[in-house]
Protein backbone atom coordinates (compact mmCIF):
# COMPACT_ATOMS: atom_id res chain seq x y z
CA UNK A 1 0.00 0.00 0.00
CA UNK A 2 1.31 3.43 -0.94
CA UNK A 3 1.73 5.78 1.98
CA UNK A 4 0.14 9.20 2.02
CA UNK A 5 2.41 12.25 1.87
CA UNK A 6 3.36 13.77 5.23
CA UNK A 7 2.77 17.41 6.13
CA UNK A 8 4.37 18.98 9.21
CA UNK A 9 1.97 21.55 10.70
CA UNK A 10 4.76 23.44 12.45
CA UNK A 11 7.35 26.04 11.60
CA UNK A 12 9.73 24.67 14.26
CA UNK A 13 13.20 24.15 12.79
CA UNK A 14 13.88 21.55 15.50
CA UNK A 15 10.87 19.39 14.53
CA UNK A 16 11.88 19.70 10.88
CA UNK A 17 15.43 18.53 11.70
CA UNK A 18 14.19 15.56 13.74
CA UNK A 19 11.95 14.34 10.89
CA UNK A 20 14.76 14.83 8.37
CA UNK A 21 17.15 12.86 10.60
CA UNK A 22 14.57 10.04 10.67
CA UNK A 23 14.74 9.94 6.87
CA UNK A 24 11.16 11.07 6.25
CA UNK A 25 10.15 13.18 3.28
CA UNK A 26 7.55 15.82 4.11
CA UNK A 27 6.41 19.35 3.43
CA UNK A 28 6.00 22.11 6.00
CA UNK A 29 2.73 24.00 6.16
CA UNK A 30 2.01 25.87 9.38
CA UNK A 31 -0.74 28.27 10.31
CA UNK A 32 -1.14 30.28 13.51
CA UNK A 33 -3.52 29.14 16.26
CA UNK A 34 -4.53 30.75 19.54
CA UNK A 35 -2.06 29.35 22.08
CA UNK A 36 -3.56 30.86 25.24
CA UNK A 37 -4.27 28.56 28.18
CA UNK A 38 -7.89 27.86 29.11
CA UNK A 39 -9.11 28.15 32.70
CA UNK A 40 -8.32 25.07 34.81
CA UNK A 41 -6.60 23.39 31.83
CA UNK A 42 -3.85 20.93 32.78
CA UNK A 43 -0.58 21.24 30.84
CA UNK A 44 -1.00 17.83 29.15
CA UNK A 45 -4.54 18.78 28.08
CA UNK A 46 -3.27 22.07 26.69
CA UNK A 47 -0.41 20.44 24.76
CA UNK A 48 -2.82 17.95 23.15
CA UNK A 49 -5.43 20.62 22.37
CA UNK A 50 -2.85 22.85 20.70
CA UNK A 51 -1.32 19.97 18.75
CA UNK A 52 -4.78 19.00 17.48
CA UNK A 53 -5.61 22.63 16.63
CA UNK A 54 -2.41 23.02 14.64
CA UNK A 55 -2.99 19.78 12.73
CA UNK A 56 -6.70 20.49 12.14
CA UNK A 57 -6.27 23.99 10.73
CA UNK A 58 -3.62 22.77 8.28
CA UNK A 59 -5.51 19.58 7.33
CA UNK A 60 -8.67 21.54 6.57
CA UNK A 61 -6.69 23.91 4.30
CA UNK A 62 -5.34 21.08 2.14
CA UNK A 63 -7.15 19.57 -0.83
CA UNK A 64 -4.97 16.52 -1.47
CA UNK A 65 -5.12 13.44 0.82
CA UNK A 66 -2.19 13.51 3.23
CA UNK A 67 -1.17 12.81 6.81
CA UNK A 68 -0.75 15.96 8.93
CA UNK A 69 1.43 16.09 12.05
CA UNK A 70 0.85 18.76 14.69
CA UNK A 71 2.80 19.12 17.93
CA UNK A 72 3.06 21.47 20.87
CA UNK A 73 5.77 21.41 23.54
CA UNK A 74 5.39 22.90 27.01
CA UNK A 75 7.93 23.36 29.80
CA UNK A 76 6.23 23.03 33.19
CA UNK A 77 7.53 23.83 36.69
CA UNK A 78 5.35 24.08 39.81
CA UNK A 79 2.29 23.78 37.57
CA UNK A 80 3.33 26.93 35.66
CA UNK A 81 3.92 26.80 31.93
CA UNK A 82 7.13 28.52 30.83
CA UNK A 83 6.72 29.70 27.26
CA UNK A 84 9.18 31.48 25.04
CA UNK A 85 10.72 34.45 26.85
CA UNK A 86 9.81 37.91 25.61
CA UNK A 87 13.29 39.29 26.32
CA UNK A 88 16.67 38.53 27.91
CA UNK A 89 15.47 39.49 31.40
CA UNK A 90 12.62 37.00 31.26
CA UNK A 91 14.95 34.30 29.88
CA UNK A 92 17.33 34.94 32.79
CA UNK A 93 14.51 34.68 35.34
CA UNK A 94 13.24 31.42 33.83
CA UNK A 95 16.68 29.82 33.84
CA UNK A 96 17.36 30.85 37.44
CA UNK A 97 13.97 29.41 38.40
CA UNK A 98 14.92 26.07 36.79
CA UNK A 99 18.39 26.05 38.39
CA UNK A 100 19.04 22.94 40.49
CA UNK A 101 15.47 21.72 40.05
CA UNK A 102 13.49 19.20 38.09
CA UNK A 103 10.84 20.26 35.60
CA UNK A 104 8.70 18.50 33.02
CA UNK A 105 8.62 18.85 29.28
CA UNK A 106 5.28 17.77 27.81
CA UNK A 107 4.68 17.44 24.08
CA UNK A 108 1.29 16.82 22.58
CA UNK A 109 1.44 14.93 19.28
CA UNK A 110 -1.60 14.88 17.00
CA UNK A 111 -1.77 13.25 13.59
CA UNK A 112 -4.78 13.42 11.28
CA UNK A 113 -5.66 12.86 7.66
CA UNK A 114 -6.31 15.75 5.31
CA UNK A 115 -8.56 17.14 4.11
CA UNK A 116 -11.34 15.87 6.39
CA UNK A 117 -9.46 15.82 9.77
CA UNK A 118 -11.78 13.18 11.22
CA UNK A 119 -9.41 10.30 12.10
CA UNK A 120 -6.82 10.99 14.79
CA UNK A 121 -3.83 9.45 16.53
CA UNK A 122 -2.76 11.46 19.59
CA UNK A 123 -0.19 11.13 22.37
CA UNK A 124 1.04 13.29 25.23
CA UNK A 125 4.64 12.51 26.17
CA UNK A 126 6.36 13.63 29.38
CA UNK A 127 10.08 13.89 30.08
CA UNK A 128 11.59 14.93 33.40
CA UNK A 129 14.60 17.24 33.15
CA UNK A 130 16.93 18.07 36.03
CA UNK A 131 19.00 21.24 35.74
CA UNK A 132 22.34 21.56 37.46
CA UNK A 133 22.85 24.43 39.89
CA UNK A 134 23.45 27.54 37.78
CA UNK A 135 25.26 30.64 38.90
CA UNK A 136 24.21 34.02 37.49
CA UNK A 137 27.37 34.32 35.37
CA UNK A 138 26.66 31.02 33.57
CA UNK A 139 23.08 32.12 32.93
CA UNK A 140 24.19 35.54 31.66
CA UNK A 141 26.70 33.98 29.24
CA UNK A 142 24.07 31.56 27.92
CA UNK A 143 21.40 34.25 27.52
CA UNK A 144 23.94 36.45 25.68
CA UNK A 145 24.24 33.75 22.96
CA UNK A 146 20.62 34.44 21.97
CA UNK A 147 19.78 30.73 21.95
CA UNK A 148 17.16 30.91 24.74
CA UNK A 149 15.04 33.60 23.11
CA UNK A 150 12.96 31.42 20.78
CA UNK A 151 12.61 28.39 23.04
CA UNK A 152 10.01 27.35 25.59
CA UNK A 153 11.59 27.42 29.03
CA UNK A 154 14.48 29.51 27.63
CA UNK A 155 16.80 26.65 26.71
CA UNK A 156 17.59 24.27 23.87
CA UNK A 157 18.82 20.90 25.11
CA UNK A 158 20.21 20.04 21.66
CA UNK A 159 22.37 23.17 21.63
CA UNK A 160 24.41 25.08 24.18
CA UNK A 161 21.56 24.65 26.67
CA UNK A 162 22.49 20.98 26.97
CA UNK A 163 25.29 22.11 29.30
CA UNK A 164 22.67 23.27 31.81
CA UNK A 165 21.06 19.83 32.07
CA UNK A 166 22.25 17.30 34.62
CA UNK A 167 19.84 14.47 33.82
CA UNK A 168 16.78 13.52 31.77
CA UNK A 169 14.22 10.78 32.38
CA UNK A 170 12.28 9.81 29.28
CA UNK A 171 12.40 10.83 25.63
CA UNK A 172 15.31 13.13 24.79
CA UNK A 173 13.76 14.13 21.44
CA UNK A 174 10.64 15.18 23.34
CA UNK A 175 12.72 17.90 25.02
CA UNK A 176 14.03 18.95 21.61
CA UNK A 177 10.42 19.36 20.44
CA UNK A 178 9.06 16.06 19.11
CA UNK A 179 9.03 12.62 20.78
CA UNK A 180 10.10 10.63 17.74
CA UNK A 181 9.08 7.10 18.75
CA UNK A 182 5.53 8.19 19.50
CA UNK A 183 5.32 10.57 16.52
CA UNK A 184 6.48 7.88 14.08
CA UNK A 185 3.95 5.41 15.52
CA UNK A 186 1.12 7.91 15.03
CA UNK A 187 2.24 8.77 11.48
CA UNK A 188 2.42 5.09 10.48
CA UNK A 189 -0.95 4.32 12.09
CA UNK A 190 -2.68 6.88 9.87
CA UNK A 191 -0.98 5.71 6.67
CA UNK A 192 1.91 8.12 6.48
CA UNK A 193 5.45 7.27 5.42
CA UNK A 194 7.43 4.87 7.58
CA UNK A 195 11.08 5.58 8.30
CA gap 13, 28 in Å, rounded: 10
Q: Specify whether the CB–CB gap between 95 and 49 falls below 8 A.
A: no
Q: Specify whether the CB–CB gap between 150 and 132 falls below 8 A.
A: no
Provide CB contacts within 8 A for 21, sequence distance 6+. none
Q: Which of 39, 72, 80, 150 is catalytic?
A: 72
Provide CB contacts within 8 A for 71, sequence distance 6+. 10, 12, 15, 51, 54, 107, 108, 109, 110, 177, 178, 183
Q: Specify whether the CB–CB gap between 9 and 31 falls below 8 A.
A: yes
Cβ-in-10-Å burial (0-12, 13-18, 19+) of 34 comes to exposed
Asked about 72 being catalytic, the answer comes back as yes
Catalytic machinery residues: 72
Amino acid sequence: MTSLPLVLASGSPRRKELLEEAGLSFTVHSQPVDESRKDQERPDEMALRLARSKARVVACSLSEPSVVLGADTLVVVDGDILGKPKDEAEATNMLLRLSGRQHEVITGVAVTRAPEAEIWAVRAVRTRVLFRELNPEVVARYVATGEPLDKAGSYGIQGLGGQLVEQTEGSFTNVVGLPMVEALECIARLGGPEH
